[in-house]
Amino acid sequence: MNGVRKGYVRPLDLRHGAVDMTHGSGGRAMAQLIEELFAKHLGNDFLGQRNDGAVMPLPRGRLVMSTDGHVVSPLFFPGGDIGCLSVNGTINDVAVLGATPLYLAAGFILEEGLPLADLVRIVESMARAASEAGVPVVTGDTKVVQKGAGDGVYITTTGVGVVADGEDFSGDRARPGDQIIVSGSIGEHGMAIMAQRESLGFAAPIVSDTAALHGLIAAMRASGAAIRALRDPTRGGVATTLNEIAGQSGVGMMLQESALPVQAEVAAACEFLGLDPLYVANEGKLLAIVAAEDVDKLLAAMRAHPLGQRAAMIGSVHADAHHFVQMTTGFGGRRIVDWLTGEQLPRIC
């Protein structure tokens, strides 16, 4: 980020103003936007270096890096917005590899005409999420595209963290006999978005579960349980994530439908729209594959954390040359829980 000369004619009109092409031109208007909006809310020592990048100290260990683009529509939804989503999502991607997330970078693509008031809300929400997580946004970039070439705002965040030697959480480590745990009720983020888009009126609205999971993961690691793999079941939901792990590890899985935690409102909305909660995105849940003997230990540690209170064992891993994820239905039959085909819910994160 470039240095800013003082002496603007007028401060940004954050109440009634809108993003225009000059805000991405590299000129004074852009510098003003960065100064009065991004730097003001996200400010920290690294961002304050005002260089094109940031220089940070790195603790010992192996570097973990992950990047994620966020294009959710609508930008604001019950339980969150694109701002906190873009912070939490990337922190989670780093944390599920067993790493301690340290720094974030954020790239904004703004559409001409976006109300500055909306942008303020989004950046404030990002700042709050980053501050609560203790993971600062250390560098960023802003571009503006013409009206019609974007949809309000897209945010790409990149996160780095470090993982200690010897800690290897990976999707290829599931073994027959291992058990599958989910950290809480599923499908809330996707259905919160969908209920808003489809104007489904519920007495209690479905609220997105967006949350940074590195605290919960730290508690899980501290329990000493033999965790094989962690993953956050975002797009494609629990079904897709388990199929990925089953394929990576070369194993099969068997789920128990009756053990799946699903909120009544989510189940009802899914029923109404013909969706399956197993395929609906989560933004604050994780799946853990754990050695059978450590299940109780891990569940106890998870349930003691606010984000893992409804943690539940939902199935187990077995040998299967076809790598099928199957489920015993509540009805008593059996079926495959396949990869998601096509696009169930577009632009949910």
Partner 1 sequence: MRFIDEFRDGELARGLAAAIRQAARTDRDYAFMEFCGGHTHAIARYGVADLLPPSVHLIHGPGCPVCVLPIGRIDMAIRLAIDAGVTLCSYGDPMRVPASDGLSLIKAKATLGRGGRAGAAAGSATAGGEIRMLYSPADALALAQQHPERQVVFFAIGFETTTPPTALLIKQAQALDLRNFSVLCCHVLTPSAIASILESPEVRRWGTLALDGFIGPAHVSTIIGTRPYVFFAEEYRKPVVIAGFEPLDVMQAILMLIKQVNAGQALVENEFSRAVSRDGNRKAQQLVSEVFELRRSFAWRGLGELPYSALRIRREFADFDAERRFGVGYQPVEDHPACECGAVLRGVKRPQDCRIFGSVCTPENPVGSCMVSSEGACAAHYSFGRFVDAGDGAVTCAAPGLAVTP
Nearer to partner 1, 33 or 266 (CB): 266
250 binds partner 1 (CB under 8 A): no
- Cβ-based neighbours of 313, under 8 Å, separated by 6 or more: 179, 180, 181, 259, 295, 299
347 binds partner 1 (CB under 8 A): no
Would you give the binding string for partner 1 spanning residues 96-115, x where CB under 8 A is met?
--------------------
Smallest gap from residue 265 Cβ to partner 1 (A): 10
Task: Give the range of 77-85, 101-109, 219-227, 258-266 binding partner 1 by CB under 8 A.
Answer: 258-266
Question: From CA 349, how far away is CA 343, in angstroms rounded?
Answer: 13
Task: Give the range of 13-21, 95-103, 156-164, 259-267 binding partner 1 by CB under 8 A.
Answer: 259-267
Smallest gap from residue 13 Cβ to partner 1 (A): 30
138 and 51 in contact (C-beta within 8 Å)?
Answer: no
Task: Give the range of 40-48, 56-64, 89-97, 323-331 binding partner 1 by CB under 8 A.
Answer: 323-331
Q: Report which secondary-structure segment, H or E, holds 80.
A: strand 80-81
| Cα 61 to Cα 28, 58, 97, 349, distances in angstroms | 41, 9, 13, 30
252 binds partner 1 (CB under 8 A): yes
Nearer to partner 1, 258 or 309 (CB): 258
Interface of this chain with partner 1, residues 293 to 312, rule: CB under 8 A: 295
Nearer to partner 1, 40 or 334 (CB): 334
Closest to 247 in 3D by CA, of 331, 339, 113: 339
Closest to 261 in 3D by CA, of 185, 313, 180: 185
254 binds partner 1 (CB under 8 A): yes
Cα 115 to the center of its chain, rounded Å: 25
Question: From CA 13, how far away is CA 32, in angstroms rounded?
Answer: 11
Smallest gap from residue 343 Cβ to partner 1 (A): 9
SS3 230: strand
Question: From CA 329, how far away is CA 118, in angstroms rounded?
Answer: 44
Interface of this chain with partner 1, residues 132 to 191, rule: CB under 8 A: 176-177, 179
Smallest gap from residue 60 Cβ to partner 1 (A): 37
Helix, strand, coil in percent for the chain, rounding step 5: 35, 25, 45
Binding site for partner 1 (CB under 8 A): 176-177, 179, 198, 252, 254, 256, 258-259, 264, 267-268, 271, 273, 292, 295, 313-320, 322, 324, 326, 328-336, 338, 341-342
